[in-house]
Structure 1
Amino acid sequence: MFLNYYWQKWLPPILVRAAVRVLVMICLTAGVLGILGSTAPMSYAQLVSTTTPIQDKQIPLKSTALNATVYHSPDCNCCGGWIDHLKAQGFKVTDFSTPNIETVKQKYNVPDNLSSCHTAIVNGYVIEGHVPADDIKRLLQEKPNVAGLSVPQMPVGTPGMEMGNRKDPFSVFSFDRKDSVAVFNKYGAES
Structure 2
Amino acid sequence: MQKSMKNHMVRTLGAFAVALASAVALPSFSAHAEGIEARIIKNPNCGCCTMHGEYLREHGFDVTITNDENVYDMATMIGIPEDMQGCHLTMIDGYAVSGHVPVESILRMLEERPAITALTLPGMPMGSPGMGGAKEAPFEIYSLKNGKAEIYELR
The answer to whether TM tops 0.5 is yes
Give structure 1 stretches of 5+ with no counterpart: 1-50
Q: Name the CA distance, whole Å, in 1 between partners of 2:153 and 2:76.
A: 25
The size of the alignment, in residue pairs, is 133
For the pair 1:70 / 2:79, whether they are aligned, the reply is no
Name the residue aligned to 1:174: 143
Structure 2 counterpart SS, 1:57 = helix
TM-score normalised by length of structure 2: 0.77
Q: Which residue of 2 aligns with 1:57?
A: 26
The two structures, once aligned, show a CA RMSD in angstroms of 2.5
Return the TM-score normalized by structure 1.
0.63
| More helix, by proportion | 2
**Which residue does the alignment assign to 2:104?**
134
- Overall identity of the aligned pairs, in %: 27
Matching of residues 2-81 of structure 1 within 5 Å: 57-58=26-27, 59=29, 65-81=35-51
User: Which has the higher Rg, Structure 1 or Structure 2?
Assistant: 2
Give the CA deviation at 1:103.
2.7
- Which structure carries more relative contact order (alpha carbon 8 Å, separation 6+)? 1
Aligned mate of 1:184, from 141, 152, 155: 152
Structure 2 stretches of 5 or more lacking a match? 1-18
